[in-house]
Amino acid sequence: MNRTAVLVVDDEKSLRDFVRRNLEIRGYQVFTAANGLEALAIFHNENIDLVILDLMMPHMDGLETIRRIRQNALVPIVILSALGQEEDKIQALNLGADDYLTKPFGVGELLARIQAVLRRAQWIGHKPVATNRLVTGELVIDLERHEALHNGILLELTPTEFTLLAYLVENAGKALPHHTLLQHVWGPEYGQETEYLRVYIGRLRQKIEADPANPQHLLTIRGIGYSFAN
């Protein structure tokens, strides 16, 4: 059985070694890089399943590395950074990061986040429904193929975007609280990361709304969460 391959990118060698050791003893195959340039070289030569990435690095920082990876890959990306402001998290999430941990962090928390993003990437945990297809207006969601079409055009969705959209459509007309969405889509380890939802709902609006600034389907329910309107 192939081991899950993780690429750990950080300019601090002691942290790279700390993460590498903790992952290797749990059966992961680990590659390490000191900056974005090294990371991209490894990423394009190895079959990487997950990237763990610092933001502040020499030669190529983490944000540019995310951009380069997201040009042609949907591999999960977890940020480990000393930058803990909400705007830093939103910027990374907007570029395509899947999760964000602020340094210092605990090993247990890191492992839980890794397992959560890998579950989403492997489409594990999606609740089955009576039909394999959800159809609402111009939007068609194929739950078996994990594909969504809008006006007949295949949408390019990350695993997290797909799971969030499918869950909203499955529960069309219901006001879904933030914590419900976070725990269903991201996992039971989550519940307070409302900025994740804000970013991902914004990305989905760009893909399915005629006017993302005035959404007709992906609605914000103030003080509660979000809802999908047919």
pLDDT at 37: 95
pLDDT at 120: 79
What is the topology classification, in CATH, of domain 5-121? Rossmann fold (3.40.50)
Delimit the CATH 1.10.10.10 region(s) of the chain: 133-228
pLDDT at 230: 86
pLDDT at 127: 46
**Residue 149 is inside which H or E element, if any?**
strand 147-150
The letter for the amino acid at 135 is V
With beta carbons less than 8 A apart as the criterion, state whether 116 and 185 touch: no
Delimit the CATH 3.40.50.2300 region(s) of the chain: 5-121
For every one of its 230 residues, what pLDDT tens digit does the chain have, with 9 covering 90 and above?
578 999 999 999 999 999 999 999 999 999 999 999 999 999 999 999 999 999 999 889 999 999 999 988 889 999 999 888 888 899 999 999 999 999 888 999 999 999 988 887 775 444 444 458 888 888 999 988 888 999 999 998 888 899 999 999 999 999 999 999 999 999 888 988 999 999 999 999 999 999 999 999 999 999 999 999 98
The span from the CA of 190 to the CA of 203, in Å, is 20
Q: Does domain 133-228 have CATH number 1.10.760.10?
A: no
With beta carbons less than 8 A apart as the criterion, state whether 30 and 20 touch: yes
161 SS3 class:
helix
**Contacts (Cβ under 8 Å, ≥6 apart) of 56:** 11, 62, 81, 82, 83
